[in-house]
Structure 1
Amino acid sequence: MKEEFLHFLWKYKLFSTTDLKSIAGEFIEVVNPGIYNTNTGPDFLNAQLKIDGQLWIGNVEIHLKSSDWYAHYHEEDENYDAIILHVVWSYDADVFMKNNLPLPTLELEQFVQKEVLVNYQKLFSKEQRWIPCEKQIAEIDSFLLNNWLERLYFERLENKAVFIKEVLSKSNNDYEAVLFKLLAKNFGLKVNGDAFFDLSNSFDFSVLRKVRFNQEQLSALLFGQAGFLEDEVEDGCYVKLKKEYNYLQHKYKLKPIRKNRFQFFRMRPNNFPTIRIAQLGALYFKHQHLFSQILEVSRLKDFYMLFSVEVNDFWKTHYTFETSSKKSPKRLTKSFIDLLVINTIIPLRFVYEQERGTINEEQLLQLMQQLRPEKNSIINKFSELKIDAKSAFETQALLELKNNYCSKKECLQCAIGNSLLRK
C-alpha cells in the first residue's frame, strides 16, 4: 500500500464516518478534510475537525505507520506544529507534540470498507497488465468517460503548449516564425522530425521572409540548409539551385546542417525528406502570411483547401535529385493535413488564444471531432478493450491517458480509477 492511497481515502472521505474515534477514544467528525498539499509540509491544510465536540482548524498529516512521524523528523520541523490530527493506516508508536501531550491520531484501517481495499488491490495488482484497469475499463459510465476524455485532451494541449512557448520565447514571440518551425518538425514525421526542426532553426526566419516570393530561391534555401546541395549532380535544376544557394549562403552567412541527419531507409517514397522539403517550400511559396490565414479557418474542409499545394515540375518526376520517377503531383494528402492540424495548427492556436484570453475551447473541440481517429498501437489496444475512438479528439485524449496516467499508474489521479475505487 502507498501513502498516496491514504491521501485519496482522506480527501474523498472513503471511510466510515459513523463512530469515528481516535486511538485515545475521542469522537472525530470531519467537517472539511482540508486542502490537499502537493508541496512540502503537511499533507492537508486548513482542515476543520470536531474532536469530542470541539471545533479545530489546522493541518492533517498522513502516514502508513505512526512511527513515520519520527522517521521523517517532523518533531523537529515547525511546519508541523499546527497539526490537529495524525492519520495513519497502522498505529505502532505513540507520537507527542512539543507540549508533551499525545498527538490526536486516527488509525484508518479499522474504518475503511473491505470493498474499497479489494478495488485498490485490483488496480495495483502486481500482475502484468497493459493498463491497470484493463479488466474493468469497459464498465465505466460513458458520461464519466466522455467528460474525462475532454479534460485529458486539454491536458494534452497544455503539455504541448509548454514546448511551443519555449520556441516562442526563442523566436521573440514571432508566431509566423514559430508556425514554420512547428510545421517543419511535423513535415519530418517521427523519423525525421528532429532533423527538420534543426533545419528550421538553421537560419533566421527573416531570410525566408525575404526569399519566399521567389520559388527557386526558397527551394535553394531549404535544400541548401538541409545539406542536399553539397554534391556534384549533373542535372540542370540541381545546378541552378546550387548556384542560387551559394549566393544566399554568402549573402546571409548561412551554415547548412549535415545531410546525413535525414533518413530515407525503410520510408515510403512520398515521405522521403526531399519530397517533404519540396512540399514545405511549395506551401510557403503559395501562402505569404500563413499564420494569419490559419487563424481565420475553423472548418476542416477549409484547412484541406489551405494546404492544397503541389510540388514544382522537377519533383513531380523525382523522389531524389539523382533519380527520376513516374510523374505524380505529390500533393499533401488529407491524412497528412490531419496530422498537421492535430499536432501543429490547433496547439499553436490554443497558445495564441490563451495568451490573449480569447480561447474558444468549444471551437477547438468541434474541429478535433471533425478529424478522423488516428491509427497506432495504443489506439488499437484501447479498441481491443472496447474503448473505440470516433475522432482525433478521443485518440489524442486516450494517448494522454495511456502515457501520463496508465503507464505511470496514476490511477488515484484518474477519473476512471476514482470511479472504480468507489464502486
Structure 2
Amino acid sequence: MKEDFLHYIWQYKKFDFANLTTTAGEALTIVHSGHYLGQSGPDFFNAQLVINQQKWAGNVEIHVKSSDWYLHHHQNDNRYDTIILHVVWEHDVPVFRSDNTEIPVLELKNYVASEIVQNYQNLMQPKSWINCERHIAEVDSFVFTNWLARLFLERLETKSVPVLQLLAQSGNDWEAVLFYGLAKNFGLNTNGEAFLKIVQSIPFEVIRKASFEVENTEALLLGQAGLLSPQAEDTAAQDLWRRFDYWRQKYRLQSVVTQPVQFFKHRPDNFPTIRLAQLAMLYHCQQHLFSKLMATKTKEDLYRVFDVGVSDYWQTHYLIDKPSPIKPKKLSRAFIDLLMVNTVIPMQLAYGKHLGKEVSEAVMALAETISPEKNTIIEKFFNFGVKATNAFETQALLQLKNKYCNHGQCLQCVVGTQLLKQTHVTHH
C-alpha cells in the first residue's frame, strides 16, 4: 500500500462515503475533501467536514499507518496543528495536536472495495517495461487522445523554459534565442551543448553583420568550434582562417573550445563541419528568420524556409583539406522535421505566451502534420499496441514515458486511473 494511492482514493472519493464513522465511532460527513496541492505541509488544504454534527474547516493529512505521523516528525511541525482529520489505511496509534487534543481518524480500509485495491496492486506489479503495458491499448481512444494533448502541451511547456531563460540572457533578443536554439539542435545529442556554447560566444549582432557573406559566417562558426587552422593547405580553407582571424580580433572573441566537437559515431552528413556550414548558409539565405518562422503555420512552408544546402567548398568536402565527390548536402526533410519539433514549435509556443496569445491549438495542428519520430520508446509503445502516426503523438508518448511511467506516477496518469476503474485488470 502506498500513500499516493490513498491520496487518489481520497481526492476522487473512490470509497463508500455514505456512512462513514471515525475510529472513535463518531459520524463523519465530507462536505469538501480539500485541495491537493502536492507541496510540503498537509496533504489536502481547506477541507470541510461534519463530525458528530459539528462542522470543521481545516486540513487533512493522509498516511498508510497512523504511526507514520511520528515517522515524518509532524509532531514537531506547527503546520500540522490545522489538521481536522487523519486519513489512514490502518490505525495503529493515536495522534495529538500540540494542545493535546486527539485528532479524529478515518480508517479507509473499511470503506474501499477490494476490487479497487486488487486493480491497484496488479497495475503496480513490476512489468517488463511500463506498469500498464498489458492494458494500455484498451483505454478508451477519446480519453487517450485528450490525455495525449495534455502530455504534448506539458512537454512543450518544459521545452519553452530554456527558451525563456535564453531570452532573459540575450536581453530579449528573440532572433538571438532562435539562433541558439537552432544551433543546439543542429548539433544533435552529441554536439548540441558544444554548438550552443560556440554560438553564445559570438554576439548575435556579429552574426547579423557576417551573414551577408556566407564564408564570413562559416569562418566564425567553424573557427569558434576549433575546426580551422592557419596551417590549412587548400586556399579556401586558408581564406576561412584569415576571415575568422579578422572577425575574432575585431570583436575580441574568446575561445570556448574546452573539448573538441565529436565526429565519432556520426554519418558524414551529420559531421559538425557540415552542420555548421548548413547553419551558416541558413542565416545567409534567410534574413529575419525569426519573424518568418513565427508567421509560418504549415509544414510545407517551413520546408521552403529550411531549403538550404552548403557553400561550394563544402559540396566537395566533409573535412578541411580532404576533398570528396561533389554532393549538395541539403537539409533533409527528416532533419527539418526534427528542427520543427525541437526548436520551431516550442519557440512558437513560448513567443505566443510572451505576447499573451493562445497558440496551443495552432502548434498542435502543425505537429499533427509532421512525421512521427523513430526511437526505441516509440517502438516499444507500438509493440504494446499504441501506434503513433505523427510528431504530436510521439512527443506526447515521450512525455508519458519520461515523466510518468519512469517514475511510477500511474495515479497521476489518465491511463492508470482509467485502468483502476476497469473491472478486468487481472494479474497474469
TM-score over 0.5 for the pair: yes
Contact 2:219–2:240 (Cα < 8 Å) also in 1: yes
Aligned pair 1:12/2:29, yes or no? no
Answer with 280-289 or 73-82: which moved more: 73-82
TM-aligned CA deviation for residue 259 of structure 1? 8.6
Contact 2:230–2:241 (Cα < 8 Å) also in 1: no
Corresponding residue number in structure 1 for 2:363: 364
Matches within 5 A, 1:359-398: 359-398=358-397
- State how far apart, in whole Å, the 2-side matches of 1:122 and 1:143 are: 24
Unaligned runs of 5+ in 2: 423-428
- State how far apart, in whole Å, the 2-side matches of 1:259 and 1:212 are: 26
Corresponding residue number in structure 1 for 2:279: 280
Distance 1:226 1:101, change over 3 A: closer
Secondary structure (helix, strand or coil) at the match of 1:383 reads helix
Corresponding residue number in structure 2 for 1:112: 112
> What is the TM-score when the length of structure 2 is the normalising length?
0.95
Corresponding residue number in structure 1 for 2:304: 305
TM-aligned CA deviation for residue 350 of structure 1? 0.8
The one-letter amino acid of 2:326's match is K
- State how far apart, in whole Å, the 1-side matches of 2:117 and 2:358 are: 42
- State how far apart, in whole Å, the 2-side matches of 1:278 and 1:80 are: 61
Distance 1:76 1:288, change over 3 A: same
TM-aligned CA deviation for residue 53 of structure 1? 3.2
Aligned pair 1:82/2:82, yes or no? yes
Secondary structure (helix, strand or coil) at the match of 1:370 reads coil
Corresponding residue number in structure 1 for 2:425: none
TM-aligned CA deviation for residue 165 of structure 1? 1.4
Secondary structure (helix, strand or coil) at the match of 1:265 reads coil
Matches within 5 A, 1:86-101: 86-101=86-101
TM-aligned CA deviation for residue 413 of structure 1? 0.8
Corresponding residue number in structure 1 for 2:47: 47
> Identity of aligned pairs, percent?
49
Contact 1:224–1:256 (Cα < 8 Å) also in 2: no
Matches within 5 A, 1:137-216: 137-216=136-215
The one-letter amino acid of 2:316's match is T
The one-letter amino acid of 1:397's match is A
Answer with 261-270 or 279-288: which moved more: 261-270
TM-aligned CA deviation for residue 258 of structure 1? 3.0
TM-aligned CA deviation for residue 99 of structure 1? 4.9
Corresponding residue number in structure 2 for 1:270: 269
Secondary structure (helix, strand or coil) at the match of 2:242 reads helix
TM-aligned CA deviation for residue 298 of structure 1? 0.5
Contact 2:127–2:133 (Cα < 8 Å) also in 1: no
Corresponding residue number in structure 1 for 2:61: 61
- State how far apart, in whole Å, the 1-side matches of 2:57 and 2:397 are: 41
Answer with 60-69 or 83-92: which moved more: 60-69
Secondary structure (helix, strand or coil) at the match of 1:261 reads coil
Secondary structure (helix, strand or coil) at the match of 1:319 reads strand
TM-aligned CA deviation for residue 80 of structure 1? 2.2
TM-aligned CA deviation for residue 96 of structure 1? 3.2
Contact 1:30–1:50 (Cα < 8 Å) also in 2: yes
Unaligned runs of 5+ in 1: none
TM-aligned CA deviation for residue 128 of structure 1? 4.2
The one-letter amino acid of 1:216's match is E
Distance 1:101 1:186, change over 3 A: closer
Secondary structure (helix, strand or coil) at the match of 1:263 reads coil
- State how far apart, in whole Å, the 1-side matches of 2:66 and 2:202 are: 61
Distance 1:257 1:231, change over 3 A: farther
Contact 2:297–2:366 (Cα < 8 Å) also in 1: yes
Corresponding residue number in structure 2 for 1:129: 128
Aligned pair 1:343/2:342, yes or no? yes
> What is the TM-score when the length of structure 1 is the normalising length?
0.96
The one-letter amino acid of 1:190's match is N
Deviations 1:52-79 (A, max 9, x none): 3333222111111112233334344332
- State how far apart, in whole Å, the 1-side matches of 2:217 and 2:49 are: 70
Aligned pair 1:34/2:41, yes or no? no
Contact 1:69–1:75 (Cα < 8 Å) also in 2: yes
Aligned pair 1:404/2:412, yes or no? no
Distance 1:262 1:98, change over 3 A: closer
Contact 2:226–2:260 (Cα < 8 Å) also in 1: no
Distance 1:258 1:57, change over 3 A: closer
Corresponding residue number in structure 1 for 2:426: none
TM-aligned CA deviation for residue 273 of structure 1? 0.7
- State how far apart, in whole Å, the 1-side matches of 2:201 and 2:97 are: 62
TM-aligned CA deviation for residue 231 of structure 1? 5.0
Contact 1:372–1:392 (Cα < 8 Å) also in 2: yes
- State how far apart, in whole Å, the 2-side matches of 1:241 and 1:208 are: 15
The one-letter amino acid of 2:53's match is G
Answer with 317-326 or 147-156: which moved more: 317-326
- State how far apart, in whole Å, the 1-side matches of 2:44 and 2:127 are: 33
Contact 1:226–1:259 (Cα < 8 Å) also in 2: no
Contact 2:148–2:396 (Cα < 8 Å) also in 1: yes
TM-aligned CA deviation for residue 421 of structure 1? 1.7
Secondary structure (helix, strand or coil) at the match of 2:42 reads coil
The one-letter amino acid of 2:247's match is L
Deviations 1:169-224 (A, max 9, x none): 11111110011111011011111111111111121111111111122222211111
Secondary structure (helix, strand or coil) at the match of 1:10 reads helix
The one-letter amino acid of 2:232's match is V
- State how far apart, in whole Å, the 2-side matches of 1:322 and 1:123 are: 60
Contact 1:28–1:49 (Cα < 8 Å) also in 2: yes
Answer with 152-161 or 202-211: which moved more: 202-211
